[in-house]
Amino acid sequence: MQVQQTIRGARLGGPKPAAPRAVCSSGRLARRGMPVVRAVAAPERPSTLNVAGQDVGPKDAPLPSLFPTAPPPPAPGAPKLRVAILGGGLAGLSTAVELLDQGHEVDIYEGRQWVGGKVASFKDKDGNHIEMGLHVFFGCYFNLFRLMAKCGVLENLLLKDHTHTFCNLDGDVRELDFRFFVNDTKIGAPFHGLKAFFTTPQLEPIDKVANSLALGTSPVVRALFDPEGAMQDIRALDNISFTDWFKSHGGSDASIKRMWDPIAYALGFLDCNDISARCMLTIFQFFATKTDASVLRMLSGSPAVAVPGL
């Protein structure tokens, strides 16, 4: 069976998904039992911004100015493609939205009975909310925010105060606090990051010195005046682990254990031995150059019903 469903209308972050409409299918994969979602464009929804947090104002919310430029509309007479996407997770769904916006026809082949992959959530028979994954959003997730704006679900984002919290053993809680004001004037990147780093009690002074050496000689500094060039340098570090790169630049084991491992886990469920230097330095250069990149957002509750694929 093939299902026609309003992908843009699906409330990935909202309480209730749009009901799917079943239509006939003659697709080869569908005949083999693979559920298929026919993606169709839905009208744009107006979006409102739910802005919370004491130190994070509307200008820090995911406004259109933070989004990357949308792909240009297709040229007149450009061929319309019929595209099959394998997997209805965030990657597949967002690709479908972009292709639909370009006027192509899209079928999503999803192995499960529902779409969303690791961003799906549902309530089990005992009433427990089960989340498959994603629940925290950094301010530099520009593409994700652009997708959420198209879906009309930005209103479900809640802002957290601009500080990151480390929960150590025995209830020892310490902050990496980006809030930086001088006479009520908010100070932004890169100074708020330097302030956060040099005042955090999560690291010892000796480790801060070693960190300064490592990051001060990294492409993150180049990113301050040449972001494109810095990204080229950073992309070249895909084959080296963050641990190897960091220690070869004078970084300490204590910093890895106390600060960079928790951040690596948050990014990819990997520790610094397994995550690449490219991955870590990419997010560091965003944090260093864009005031809002390190702001965290969460969702105002998880949807209680999975977005069905069948």
Ligand X SMILES: Cc1cc2nc3c(=O)[nH]c(=O)nc-3n(C[C@H](O)[C@H](O)[C@H](O)COP(=O)(O)OP(=O)(O)OC[C@H]3O[C@@H](n4cnc5c(N)ncnc54)[C@H](O)[C@@H]3O)c2cc1C
Q: Interface residues with ligand X (CB under 6 A)?
A: 86-92, 109-112, 117-119, 133-136
Tell the smallest beta-carbon distance from residue 99 to ligand X (Å): 15
Tell the smallest beta-carbon distance from residue 112 to ligand X (Å): 4
Tell the smallest beta-carbon distance from residue 302 to ligand X (Å): 12
Closest CB to ligand X among 134 and 237? 134
- Pairing of the two strands 296-299 and 136-138: antiparallel
- Pairing of the two strands 157-159 and 296-299: antiparallel
Closest CB to ligand X among 29 and 254? 29
- Give SS3 for 159: strand
- What's the N-to-C CA distance of the chain in angstroms? 7
Cα dihedral across residues 245, 252, 177, 154: positive or negative: positive
In the complex, residue closest to ligand X by CB? 89
Closest CB to ligand X among 81 and 86? 86
Closest CB to ligand X among 12 and 203? 12
Closest CB to ligand X among 90 and 256? 90
Q: Distance (Å, rounded) from C-alpha 83 to C-alpha 39?
A: 10
Say which residues have a Cβ less than 8 Å from residue 123's Cβ, sequence separation at least 6: 129, 130, 304, 305
Tell the smallest beta-carbon distance from residue 134 to ligand X (Å): 3
121, containing H or E segment: strand 121-123
Q: Encoding tokens for residue 136?
A: 């925290």
Tell the smallest beta-carbon distance from residue 36 to ligand X (Å): 10
- Give SS3 for 206: helix
The label of the residue with tokens 């239509």 reads 23
Tell the smallest beta-carbon distance from residue 33 to ligand X (Å): 11
Closest CB to ligand X among 100 and 134? 134
